[in-house]
Amino acid sequence: MNWLTGFFGDPANWSGPGGIPARLLEHVEFSALALVLAMLLAVPLGLLIGHTGRGALLVVVSANLSRALPTLGLLVMFVLLLGTASIWPVIIPLVLLAVPPILVNTYEGVRGVDPELRDAAYGMGLRGGQVLGRVLVPVALPLILLGLRLSAIQVVATTTVAAYTGLGGLGRFVIDGFATKDYASVVGGSVLIVLFALVVQIGFTLVQRTTVSPGVSQRVRSR
């Protein structure tokens, strides 16, 4: 407890480039950038593959690769290759990490839509793009969001580890704390990381509530 009060009560921890707000901002920046990039890459790709049925092998390969590749190894490799002058050595592995869950879930979501429903949509006279946008995406949305959430959790967690490479983020409190035996910093940093992960989870739940149709989630206020 006094470690916590020591950490959070120290005004020095609330300002400057090594302070909590700055570290938190860095953490948000890295995670958000990686997640957005991964989303821009994986969602359209997953939708396209799921809709056309072509390129499904890519999904399988990406799913397997993500399980086989150690993220930390990738991180270190990119830092060794590209140095630490920019944030890209950290962002690239984070994106690579974030793509597979989004890709796999988006693809499965679209492909898993009841063929009768797809058939009815075409039968009504919807064109291919309209079938995708107006029927497949809304119905697959829970899975697409699940993919994004899984990726977000992984990215947030891995961004912590990225502190090893000398870049910023909340992980610095933990890693620097260990290095200097400043356990208040280690504990305080950990708490911040956990809180941040929770906030991200809650954020996704809210997004899910507001964007998924009650007809799909089958949550309708009873009358």
Partner 1 sequence: MITFDSVTKRYPDGTVAVDHLSLEAPTGEVTVFVGPSGCGKTTSLRMINRMIDATEGEILLDGRPVREIDPPTLRRGIGYVIQQAGLFPHKKIVDNIATVPHLLGWDRGKARARAMELLERVGLDPAMGERYPFQLSGGQQQRVGVARALAADPPVLLMDEPFSAVDPIVRTSLQDELLRLQAELNKTIVFVTHDIDEAIKLGDRVAVLRVGGRLAQLADPKTLLSEPADDFVREFLGRDRGIRRLQFVSTEGLRLRTDLTVPEGYEGGRSEPWLLVVTKDGRPLGWIAGDGRGGPEPYGTFRPGQDSMRAALDAALLSPSGCAVAVDEEGKVAGVATREALDAALAEAADA
Are the beta carbons of 135 and 126 closer than 8 angstroms? yes
| Near partner 1 in 65-124, by CB under 8 A | 114, 116-117, 119-124
Per CB under 8 A, 215 contacts partner 1:
yes
In 3D, which of 138, 133, 140 has the Cα closest to residue 112? 140
Out of 139, 161, 184, 192, the only residue in the binding site for partner 1 (CB under 8 A) is: 139
Q: Give per-residue burial for 86-112: e unless 16+ CB within 10 Å, then b.
A: ebebbbbbbbbbbbbbbbbbbbbbbbe
Per CB under 8 A, 213 contacts partner 1:
yes
Q: How far is the CB of 110 from partner 1 (least distance, A)?
A: 14
Q: How far is the CB of 123 from partner 1 (least distance, A)?
A: 4
Per CB under 8 A, 11 contacts partner 1:
no
| Near partner 1 in 155-174, by CB under 8 A | none
User: What's the CA dihedral at 88, 195, 176, 99 to 10 degrees?
Assistant: -20
Which residues, in sequence order, are CB contacts of 101 under 8 Å at separation 6+?
66, 147, 148, 150, 151, 154
Per CB under 8 A, 144 contacts partner 1:
no
How many amino acids of this chain bind partner 1 (CB under 8 A)?
22
> Which CB atom, from 2 or from 218, has the smaller least distance to partner 1?
218
Q: Taking contact as CB under 8 A, which single stretch among the options 41-49, 84-92, 134-142, 194-202 is the one that binds partner 1? A: 134-142
Which amino acid is residue 192, in one-letter code? L
Q: How far apart are CA 222 and CA 1, in angstroms?
A: 45
Q: How far is the CB of 118 from partner 1 (least distance, A)?
A: 9
> Which CB atom, from 120 or from 198, has the smaller least distance to partner 1?
120
Q: How far apart are CA 161 and CA 165, in angstroms?
A: 8
Q: Taking contact as CB under 8 A, which single stretch among the options 81-89, 101-109, 127-135, 173-181 is the one that binds partner 1? A: 127-135
Per CB under 8 A, 186 contacts partner 1:
no
Q: How far is the CB of 165 from partner 1 (least distance, A)?
A: 44
Name the 3-class secondary structure at 102. helix
Q: How far is the CB of 51 from partner 1 (least distance, A)?
A: 16
Q: How far apart are CA 96 and CA 84, in angstroms?
A: 18
In the chain the first and final C-alpha atoms are separated, in Å, by 48
Binding site for partner 1 (CB under 8 A): 114, 116-117, 119-127, 130, 135, 138-139, 213-216, 218, 220
